[in-house]
């Protein structure tokens, strides 16, 4: 029997700005359409941020999430994963609110404070439509994305009664050890999803040895208690995902992580990236998991138990 690979699609995110690609979903309708399209292309999970529809600025206003979550839920059986990362400019209390109030099946959770450098994008993108975009990138040279032990515990404890499972985002090896610490404290319970992030400035690199080191370390720390997934930022997206799949892992793609469909070519949709990685999986002799199968793998509470 072919192994089932879970595909997560990160639909819009907070890293890229609207001026970088005309295909980046911004409005609630665009985000909903993009998520449903990704699901139809083969994504079992959609990872969701929200944006102010007027200028595309990242927002963690739960009411903005309410503008598109019911549409996605009605239009697809896809698993909805809400960010608690938000953007590095936000407080942890602000970042928490959508997951706390809306009680999704899955929410993301970053495992450590880190330098989070986006400023190098200024060398590739020169013209910006909105006043917030250039300073947002420039100031990242002197910005720390704050995720202290207290912050992480606050999010886990706040959501403990929601039966929400977490996409545990690990940008470096030390983040795996932090996750293990919270497993030991009983705040993260198996089975959990470890999402290893490669190629962002401030985190681990995208070299094949880095990917293998992450997997070996996670296997040693978590054994059979977890599912491993990866995302490669920018041009690293597809080959890091392919390496993960070959190693028995799962994959994440989407316009949050990379705007590209190929060398020098912008992806026209999230569905395009999902279709591409699904084709790669099938060429490798692998099958992709349906939302139903992913729910069984991760032992999720079900879409009828959310608050949207």
Domains and CATH numbers, the chain: 4-305 (3.20.20.70)
Is residue 296 within 8 Å of residue 63, measured between CB atoms? no
User: pLDDT at residue 175 above 50?
Assistant: yes
State the pLDDT at residue 73.
98
User: pLDDT at residue 218 above 90?
Assistant: yes
Rounded to an integer, the average pLDDT of 223-250 is 96
163 φ/ψ angles, rounded to the nearest 5 degrees: 60, 30
Both structure tokens of 38: 């990704």
Give the tens place of pLDDT for each residue, 135-165: 999 999 999 999 999 999 999 999 999 999 9
pLDDT tier for residue 2 given thresholds of 50, 70 and 90: low
User: pLDDT at residue 79 above 50?
Assistant: yes
For the chain, the average pLDDT equals 97
Rounded to an integer, the average pLDDT of 286-293 is 97
Per the listing, tokens 């595309």 go with: 56
CA atoms 283, 247, 193, 29: torsion sign: negative
User: pLDDT at residue 187 above 60?
Assistant: yes
pTM check: above 0.95: yes
Both structure tokens of 250: 């799962």
Residues 6+ apart with CB under 8 A from 244: 211, 215, 228, 229, 230, 250, 251
User: pLDDT at residue 217 above 90?
Assistant: yes
Both structure tokens of 123: 């060398």
Q: What is the Cα–Cα distance from 108 to 124, expressed in whole angstroms?
A: 29
DSSP letter, residue 78 = P
**What percent of the chain has pLDDT above 90?**
98
Q: What is the Cα–Cα distance from 284 to 106, expressed in whole angstroms?
A: 28
State the pLDDT at residue 1.
42
Helices (H), the chain: 28-41, 62-65, 69-75, 92-102, 133-138, 149-158, 173-184, 208-222, 237-246, 270-283, 291-298
**What percent of the chain has pLDDT above 70?**
99
User: pLDDT at residue 67 above 90?
Assistant: yes
């Amino acid at each position: 029997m072919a192994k089932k690979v879970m595909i997560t699609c990160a639909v819009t995110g907070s890293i890229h700005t609207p001026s970088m690609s005309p295909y980046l979903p911004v409005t609630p309708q665009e985000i909903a359409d993009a998520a449903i399209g990704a699901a139809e292309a083969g994504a079992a999970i959609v990872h969701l941020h929200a944006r102010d529809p007027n200028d595309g600025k990242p927002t963690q206003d739960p009411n903005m999430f309410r503008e598109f979550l019911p549409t996605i839920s009605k239009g697809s059986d896809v698993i909805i994963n809400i960010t608690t990362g938000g953007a590095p400019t936000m407080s942890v209390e602000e970042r928490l609110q959508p997951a706390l109030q809306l009680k999704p099946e899955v929410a993301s959770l970053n495992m450590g404070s880190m330098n989070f450098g986006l400023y190098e994008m200024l060398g590739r993108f020169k013209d910006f439509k909105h006043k917030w975009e250039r300073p947002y990138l420039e100031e990242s040279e002197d910005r720390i994305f704050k995720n202290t032990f207290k912050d992480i515990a606050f999010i886990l404890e706040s959501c403990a009664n929601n039966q929400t499972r977490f996409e545990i985002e690990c940008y470096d090896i030390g983040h795996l050890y932090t996750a293990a610490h919270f497993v030991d404290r009983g705040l993260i319970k198996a089975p959990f999803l470890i999402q290893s992030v490669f190629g962002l400035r401030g985190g681990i690199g995208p070299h094949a040895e880095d990917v293998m080191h992450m997997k070996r370390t996670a296997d040693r720390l978590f054994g059979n208690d977890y599912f491993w997934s990866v995302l490669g930022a920018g041009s690293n997206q597809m080959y890091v995902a392919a390496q993960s799949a070959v190693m028995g892992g799962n994959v994440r793609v989407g316009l949050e992580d990379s705007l590209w469909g190929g060398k020098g070519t912008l992806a026209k949709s999230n569905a395009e990236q999902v279709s591409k990685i699904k084709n790669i999986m099938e060429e490798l002799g692998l099958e992709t998991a349906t939302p139903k199968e992913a729910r069984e793998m991760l032992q999720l509470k079900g879409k009828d138990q959310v608050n949207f």
